């Protein structure tokens, strides 16, 4: 049976009450918390920085994963480590995506993730996998929540699962709901990010259970 981890994206939470929203999704059974950091360069939007993450670190011991949609992840790595990030994800498309940057992130005590845009090939992931804890397959073009899931990305999940060791988590991000998550589970995904589906629901517990119905969820990931 599949064991799927579920990570709410705080980008879709009500921005006037992030703390309450965080507490609610933790109570509803989240396995970790996903923070979408956008710099206005790698993507058009600007979201939040390390201060917001630091301010919520004491709310839960669940894993904080920070998805850096920024041009210079290396420059920002230390401040996110100090803010309490447990896993730092950089994009394959940025200039300083390298083994050196991944090693630097690890030297700061964080786990590493590498995200791939829908238009980016995943074949060269094998140059990095020994330094990766997670691969993040984008199933929308990054930049905002609430977009439709791109089925064309499913074959990447299948390919990655066939090539990567089980120790590298394959996570999917964008347009996830129970129907699209079921497809991803069938193709071999280990975990998912959920934004608008979860935070747009009237009952987070029921929404989380609907996602869970696509596979069993293990105990929460504490840092």
Q: Does 24 bind ligand DX5 (CB under 6 A)?
A: no
Identify whether the C-beta of residue 104 lies closer than 8 Å to the C-beta of residue 80. Answer: no
Name which of ligand DX5, Zn ion, none residue 174 binds, using a CB cut-off of 5 to 8 Å depending on partner kind.
ligand DX5
The residue assigned the tokens 């980008």 is 11
| Whether 86 is catalytic | no
The residue assigned the tokens 């979408």 is 36
Position with the least CB separation from ligand DX5: 195
DSSP 13: S
Q: What x/- string results for residues 145 through 184 when contact with ligand DX5 is judged by CB under 6 A? A: xxx-------------------------xxxx--------
Q: Does 81 bind ligand DX5 (CB under 6 A)?
A: no
How far is 46 from 97, CA to CA, in rounded Å? Answer: 20
Q: What x/- string results for residues 84 through 123 when contact with ligand DX5 is judged by CB under 6 A? A: ----------------------------------------
Q: Does 36 bind Zn ion (CB under 5 A)?
A: yes
39 or 173: whose CB is closer to Zn ion? 173
DSSP 147: P
The residue assigned the tokens 């939040």 is 48
How far is 6 from 80, CA to CA, in rounded Å? Answer: 22
130 or 206: whose CB is closer to ligand DX5? 206
Q: Which residue(s) pair with 8 in the sheet?
A: 194
CA angle 162–166–170, rounded 5-degree value: 75
Identify whether the C-beta of residue 74 lies closer than 8 Å to the C-beta of residue 95. Answer: no
65 or 133: whose CB is closer to ligand DX5? 65
For ligand DX5, which stretch binds (CB under 6 A), given 6-14, 50-58, 75-83, 121-129?
Answer: 6-14
Q: Compute the least distance from the CB of residue 5 to ligand DX5, in Å.
A: 14
> What part of residues 119-148 is at the interface with ligand DX5 (CB under 6 A)?
140, 142-143, 145-147
From first CA to last CA, the distance across the chain in angstroms is 25
Q: Among candidates 104, 32, 17, which has minimal Cα distance to 66? A: 32
Which pair of tokens denotes residue 192? 């998912």
Active-site residue among 36, 65, 133, 190?
36
By annotation, the residues acting in catalysis are 36, 173
The footprint of Zn ion (CB under 5 A) covers 36, 67, 173
């Amino acid at each position: 049976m599949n064991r799927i981890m579920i990570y709410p994206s705080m980008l879709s939470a009500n921005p006037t009450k992030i703390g309450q929203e965080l507490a609610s999704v933790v109570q509803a059974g989240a396995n970790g918390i996903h923070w979408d950091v956008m710099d206005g360069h790698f993507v058009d939007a600007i979201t939040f920085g390390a201060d917001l993450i630091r301010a919520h670190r004491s709310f839960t011991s669940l894993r904080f994963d920070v998805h850096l949609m920024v041009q210079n992840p290396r420059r920002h790595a230390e401040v996110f480590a100090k803010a309490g990030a447990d896993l730092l994800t950089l994009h394959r498309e940025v200039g300083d995506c390298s083994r050196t940057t991944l090693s630097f992130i690890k030297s700061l005590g964080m786990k590493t993730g590498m995200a791939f845009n829908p238009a980016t090939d995943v074949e060269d992931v094998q140059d990095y996998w020994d330094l990766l804890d997670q691969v993040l397959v984008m199933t929308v073009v990054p930049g905002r929540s609430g977009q439709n899931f791109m089925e064309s990305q499913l074959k990447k999940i299948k390919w990655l699962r066939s090539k990567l060791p089980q120790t590298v988590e394959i996570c999917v991000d964008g347009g996830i709901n129970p129907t699209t998550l079921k497809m991803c589970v069938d193709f071999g995904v280990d975990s998912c990010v959920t934004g608008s589906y979860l935070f747009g629901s009237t009952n987070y517990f029921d929404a989380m259970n609907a996602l869970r119905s696509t596979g069993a969820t293990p105990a929460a990931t504490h840092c």
